[in-house]
Every structure is written in structure tokens, then in C-alpha cells.
């Protein structure tokens, strides 16, 4: 298919009305967009979208919840005598709990926004799954630390 033409659902060749491909961010990202991506079933060329599924929304909110739980268990660990190994998080904690949670939430929120915009790109989907896997491992680690502080014998 030559550039500037597309094939509609009935197989008719028609001129493409767009002068350029859909941009990463546009006014339609915020107001009036109706794109769902690859409506013709062709997923060879991922596209930017501005309508999201419930599954994607739930997955990204799980990401946000795991982030908040990580911050919560970090604070509990520090209150019980632990030390923060991450120097950036340690500096934020010295600035105060509000600053720590605000910056932590903003950084993760920006990551979630990026994953949201790039949801049809295979590398972005893989990035979300890998990040969720590591966050779940981190939460398990926090549970093990919490159990040790509560007197349970979970770690040798």
C-alpha cells in the first residue's frame, strides 16, 4: 500500500485524510479523542491511544497501590530501627514523610502516565509486567521484614 492511502473495511482503496501520523501527545489526548488503536485488527504498527480498558486501568492502579504499600512498609521498618538503603529515598525521608510520599507518588504517577500513553507498544506492556513483578517481590520482602519485627521466624 502506497503512502497516503488506506484500505477501508470493504476493501476499497481511499486517500488518507491525515497529513502526518498520530502524534505522541496532542489536544485529542485531553479533549474529544476517540481513538482506540488498530481498529482494523492490524497490530503490526502500534499507535497512541486515549481511550483505555478497565483491565489496563486496574493494572496501573495496582501499580500505584503497590507503590503506596512499599512506602508504608518502609516507614514502619524505619520506625522499628531499620535503615533505608536507597540514598534518594533516605534524603526524601529526611525532608519529611509528606515530601517522601509526594515525590514517590509523583514519580510513579509519571511512569503510570507514560505507560498509559504507550499502552499499545509491546515494550511498554513488558515494562509494566516486569515492574509489577519486581514490586510484588519488594512487597513480599517487606512482609518478611515485618514478620521478623513482629517476632515471627520468617527469615533465618
Residue with cell 509491546: 122
Q: 19-41 burial string, b = 16+ CB within 10 Å, else e?
A: eeeeeeeeeebeeeeebeeeeee
Considering just the CA atoms, what is the radius of gyration of the chain in Å? 22
Q: Residues 34, 63, 145, CA angle at the centre, nearest 5°?
A: 180
Q: Share the mean pLDDT of the chain.
A: 77
Report how far residue 90's alpha carbon sits from residue 109's, in angstroms, rounded to the nearest whole number: 20
With contact defined as beta carbons under 8 Å apart, do 117 and 25 qualify? yes
Q: So what's the pLDDT on residue 113?
A: 83
Closest CA relative to residue 129, chosen from 26, 137, 46: 137
For the cut 50, the answer to whether the pLDDT of residue 155 exceeds it is no
pTM of the entire structure?
0.62
Q: Are 74 and 142 in contact (CB under 8 A)?
A: yes
Mean pLDDT, rounded, for 11-19:
73
Per residue in 97-152, pLDDT (tens digit) is 999 999 999 998 898 888 877 877 888 888 888 988 888 888 888 888 877 765 55
Top-confidence residue, 19 or 126: 126
Higher-confidence residue of 65 and 51: namely 65
Q: What is the mean pLDDT of residues 17-21?
A: 66
Distance of alpha carbon 127 from the chain centroid: 8
pLDDT surpassing 70 at residue 14: yes
Confidence at residue 23, expressed as pLDDT on a 0 to 100 scale: 67
Amino acid at each position: 500500500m502506497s503512502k497516503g492511502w488506506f484500505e477501508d473495511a470493504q476493501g476499497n482503496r481511499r486517500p488518507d485524510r491525515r497529513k502526518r501520523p498520530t502524534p505522541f501527545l496532542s489536544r485529542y489526548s485531553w479533549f474529544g479523542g476517540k481513538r482506540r488503536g488498530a481498529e482494523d485488527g492490524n497490530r503490526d504498527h502500534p499507535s497512541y491511544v486515549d481511550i483505555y480498558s478497565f483491565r489496563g486501568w486496574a493494572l496501573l492502579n495496582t501499580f500505584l497501590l503497590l507503590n503506596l504499600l512499599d512506602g508504608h512498609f518502609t516507614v514502619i521498618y524505619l520506625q522499628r530501627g531499620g535503615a533505608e538503603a536507597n540514598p534518594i529515598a533516605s534524603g526524601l525521608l529526611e525532608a519529611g514523610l509528606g515530601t517522601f510520599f509526594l515525590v514517590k507518588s509523583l514519580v510513579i504517577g509519571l511512569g503510570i502516565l507514560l505507560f498509559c500513553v504507550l499502552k499499545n507498544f509491546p515494550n511498554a506492556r513488558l515494562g509494566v509486567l516486569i515492574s509489577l513483578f519486581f514490586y510484588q517481590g519488594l512487597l513480599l520482602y517487606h512482609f518478611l521484614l515485618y514478620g521478623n519485627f513482629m517476632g515471627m521466624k520468617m527469615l533465618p
